[in-house]
Amino acid sequence: MRKAFAETLTRLAADDDRILFMTGDLGFETFDEFQRRFGPRYVNVGVAEAQMVCAAAGLALEGWRPVAYSIASFVTGRAYEHIRVSVGYQDAPVVVVGAGGGYLYASSGVTHYAADDLGLMSLIPEMTVVAPADPVEVESLLPQVMRLPGPAYLRIGKYGEPVLTAAGTPELGRARLVKDGERLLVLTTGDIAGPASAALDSLARERITPAHYQVHTVKPLDEATLDRLAPATAAIVVVEEHLPIGGLWSAVCNWKLSRGGATPSLHRVGPQHRPVLGSPGRAELLRRVGCDRPSIEEAIRQIWTRPDGPSAGPASAHGLPR
């Protein structure tokens, strides 16, 4: 995703001289072409995320289209007050980019965990929140994000994410069909869509065939698609590399409550709302929090095969249904 982001941003900057890239001392080599071509429009502020956001807000109010880029945990957490006040309250068209959302930087320890970034950014009024799954979604969604009249947050991964085989061109605010299916509806956001898709491929050999939609736009949620699918869906399973509060799970729960219906039931696969310690690497950490491919596969299998059917029972907010 990171390569696709850099290349797409460079193309956009060639056609719009208002685009300015700001980095918190991150992205060397990845953005060399942008720096070579656009010189003063590449600004490395150093390890100063809060100052970077404040400067981006001022530049946006003067007519620039700044992109503020750093590690997701730092650009959302450390700079949160400045995003809320300087960007959010001003409705400034700043694109905040968090590199390595979720547990992508897990090996660097808890300071680099960003399993709350989508929630933090969703709290800010008028903030659009986007978590692409793969380079294709980055290439399609970044130009749309750059055209928004207000602020946006974009969570991106690193390199080598598998390209989803999904229907249509990614469109901001519209969920993408990855796999057609029946009974269950699996919703993903971010690059956890890759392991989830692989898990569903494996489950298909057992004749377990849920539908899968990639919800790259967490805010605003594509409620129209959920409204359309809900009548034929027994249960919705949200898979996310994010804490239960503030991410896709929260958005889907709010949607269901607003509709007042008893079905479909809701289930979640993802980390629990409690601290996770250590620096084991992302693969091991995802296994520990129940969000790796085998965990996703087993959770969906249990929901599909439960004796009372997937539509019965309470919502499970922390993984497998109770």
SS (H, E, C) 109-167: CHHHCECCHHHHHHCCCCCEEECCCCHHHHHHHHHHHHCCCCCEEEEECCCCCCCCCCC
Residue 322 lies in a domain: no
Contact 146, 138 (CB under 8 A): no
Of 181, 225, 173, 226, which Cα lies nearest the Cα of 200?
181
Domain boundary among 127, 156, 185: 156
pLDDT given at position 310: 55
99 and 182 fall within a common domain:
no
* 18/12 Cα distance (integer angstroms): 10
Domain boundary among 156, 184, 212: 156
Of 215, 239, 252, 247, which Cα lies nearest the Cα of 294?
239
The total of structural domains in the chain comes to 2
Q: Any idea which residue has 């450390």 for tokens?
A: 78
Residue 315 lies in a domain: no
152 and 23 fall within a common domain:
yes
* 97/22 Cα distance (integer angstroms): 10
Q: Which two tokens stand for residue 186?
A: 């699996």
290 and 222 fall within a common domain:
yes
Domain boundary among 124, 156, 188: 156
182 and 149 fall within a common domain:
no
Residue 123 phi/psi, 5-degree rounding, is: -70, -20
The enclosing domain of 8 has a CATH number of: 3.40.50.970
Residue 314 lies in a domain: no
Contact 183, 210 (CB under 8 A): yes
Q: Return the C-alpha torsion angle 288, 163, 190, 320, nearest 10.
A: -40
150 and 236 fall within a common domain:
no
pLDDT given at position 60: 98
pLDDT tens string for the chain (322 positions)?
999 999 999 999 999 999 999 999 988 889 999 999 999 999 999 999 999 999 999 999 999 999 999 999 999 999 999 999 999 999 999 999 999 999 999 999 999 999 999 999 999 999 999 999 999 999 999 999 999 999 999 999 988 888 998 989 999 999 999 999 999 999 999 999 999 999 999 999 999 999 999 999 999 999 999 999 999 999 999 999 999 999 999 999 999 999 987 779 999 999 999 988 889 999 999 999 999 999 999 999 999 997 455 543 333 443 333 2
Residue 312 lies in a domain: no
100 and 182 fall within a common domain:
no
pLDDT given at position 276: 87
Residue 222 phi/psi, 5-degree rounding, is: -80, 75
98 and 184 fall within a common domain:
no
Q: Which two tokens stand for residue 9?
A: 């941003």
SS3 37: helix
Residue 247 lies in a domain: yes
pLDDT given at position 309: 54
135 and 69 fall within a common domain:
yes
Residue 310 lies in a domain: no
Residue 64 lies in a domain: yes
pLDDT given at position 315: 39
User: Cβ contacts of residue 177 below 8 Å, gap of 6+?
Assistant: 166, 167, 168, 211, 212, 213
121 and 210 fall within a common domain:
no
pLDDT given at position 316: 45
Greatest CA separation for the chain: 63
| Residue range of the domain that includes 27 | 2-156
Residue length, the chain?
322
The enclosing domain of 290 has a CATH number of: 3.40.50.920
Residue 66 lies in a domain: yes
224 and 294 fall within a common domain:
yes
Q: 70, exposed or middle or buried, with CB in 10 Å at 0-12, 13-18, 19+?
A: buried
Contact 21, 41 (CB under 8 A): yes
Contact 56, 94 (CB under 8 A): yes
pLDDT given at position 261: 75
124 and 252 fall within a common domain:
no
152 and 186 fall within a common domain:
no
SS3 126: coil
